[in-house]
Homo-oligomer: A and B are copies of this chain.
Amino acid sequence: MTGSWLELPPDTGYGPANLPHGVFSTPGTAPRTGIAIGDRVLDLAAATGDDVHATGTLNAWLAQGPQVWAALRAQLVEWFTDESHRGDVEPHLLPRADVTMHLPIEVADYVDFYSSQHHAENLGAMFRPDSAALTPNWKHLPIGYHGRAGTVAVSGTPVVRPCGQRKAPAEDAPTFGPSQRLDIEAEVGFVVGVGSELGTAVPVGRFADHVFGVCLVNDWSSRDLQAWEYVPLGPFLGKSFLTSVSPWVVPLAALEAARVAPPTRDPQPLPYLRDDAEPWGLDISLEVRLNGEVLSRPPFDLMYWTPAQQLAHLTVNGASLRTGDLFASGTVSGPRADQRGSFIELSWGGREPLTLADGSTRTFLEDGDEVVLTASAPGPDGSRISFGEVTGRVEPARRD
């Protein structure tokens, strides 16, 4: 898996060790599955002649399961590293700059977790200043909730500033209008390929039997809507207007070199959440950029709960999985101020505005702002695995 006849630069994040899957189109053609390799995309439908890659989403292929995933991966590695395949493969490579990317999966259910201890402590301190920063359940289970699957959209989808109700503590009654505290949440998402039966749990050790891969998630959030609505049943309109995902799904198989031990869990969790045998900590380095300027670098390796624990928890009550289920980590924040994955943390609830390179300041997002999340992880032999990016530009509210 070292060299490739593609003569990729040594620092490419899209070498034969990555091979992320996505859905692309070119002008006048239908969306179909592609594989990112260097600065190109392999038209997988054309290269394989398999219609399962021509459906416009990854779902049908994901449902075929880990053996099929592994077999295709082995074939792709051979194609890209053995020059004897060049003549067959090269005609199906397109410049990535020339294609339009689409939502890679038809999202079945979307679940968002809350698994960064630093993020949960920061938010707890701001939203519930009179209580302990972590709720009593936080270290016993990966807290999560269902989000709106229908508003999960691909990177680049405009972020229309949401309207809604908000009420400052000092006000008597709520008012209606555009959100004044529009925020991001820098997250990592996990894509379920193989479903499960109603009434059965998926143990921690079966994570890779169900989850195909990883994408980046920006769970756009309206903090003023959220603060007024979320007691007692959780976030609703403060989150449901848009969740953006990166177009490329990086296979778990590409992340073997990125696996690390998760933080020590204290207290020891209940047996169904123990992951000593096969932990799924992942050394993914995120970067948050606003209008081109790096604001923070959240470290995923510090997440308290791993995606394998999240999946085990999600299903321990017998809830079934479906192909296309997406679950996200929750905002990734580290202990340092420059490792925070949301503006509410970066500006400490709006009380400590950020000063940007151009001299302007920010507490939350302004119309016209563009946020880009990127990430990478260690690959084999010193290489890097790139997750690409998830972007969005804020547009003004459509009513007020």
Q: Which chain A residues have a beta carbon within 8 Å of chain B's beta carbons?
A: 108-109, 111, 114, 124, 127-128, 135-137, 140-141, 143-151, 153, 157-158, 160, 162-165, 167, 173-176, 198-201, 222, 225, 228-238, 240-242, 267, 270-272, 313-314, 316-322, 325, 398-399
Contact = CB atoms under 8 A, between A and B. Distances in A.
Q: List the 4 closest A-B pairs by CB distance, nearest first.
A: A234-B234, A162-B317, A160-B199, A146-B146
Contacts of A149: 108-109, 149
Given A150-B322, A160-B198, A165 B145 contact: no
Copies in the complex: 2
Contacts of A160: 198-199, 318
Contacts of A320: 150-151
A235 B137 CA distance: 13
Given A145-B233, A146-B240, A165-B270, 10 more contacts: A124-B232, A137-B167, A148-B319, A151-B320, A164-B316, A173-B267, A200-B398, A222-B317, A237-B317, A240-B314
B148 A109 contact: yes
B145 A109 contact: no
Nearest to A317: B162
Nearest to A399: B201
A175 B269 CA distance: 10
A173 B198 CA distance: 28
Given A135-B232, A160-B198, A271-B176, A237 B319 contact: yes
26 contacts: A109-B148, A136-B167, A137-B228, A140-B173, A141-B229, A145-B146, A145-B233, A146-B146, A146-B148, A150-B325, A151-B198, A160-B198, A162-B318, A163-B201, A163-B317, A173-B267, A176-B270, A176-B271, A176-B272, A199-B398, A201-B399, A230-B233, A230-B234, A240-B314, A241-B317, A242-B318
A135 B235 CA distance: 15
Contacts of A150: 108-109, 319-322, 325
Nearest to A232: B135
A229 B151 contact: no
Nearest to A222: B317
A314 B232 CA distance: 17
Given A109-B150, A398-B199, A135 B231 contact: yes
Nearest to A127: B232
Given A317-B163, A319-B151, A235 B237 contact: no
A143 to B, nearest CB: 6
A163 B273 CA distance: 13
A108 B240 CA distance: 14
A136 B228 CA distance: 9
A145 B45 CA distance: 39
A153 B240 contact: no
Residue among A127, A136, A146 facing the most chain B CB atoms (10 A cut-off): A146
A198 B114 contact: no
A233 B158 CA distance: 26
A114 B236 CA distance: 13
Residue among A160, A165, A225 facing the most chain B CB atoms (10 A cut-off): A165
Contacts of A157: 198
A234 B267 CA distance: 23
Nearest to A231: B135
Contact of A236 (B146, B232, B399): B146
A106 B137 CA distance: 34
B319 A137 contact: no
Contacts of A314: 237, 240
A334 B313 CA distance: 35
Given A150-B320, A164-B317, A398-B318, A140 B232 contact: no
A96 to B, nearest CB: 26
A229 B143 contact: yes
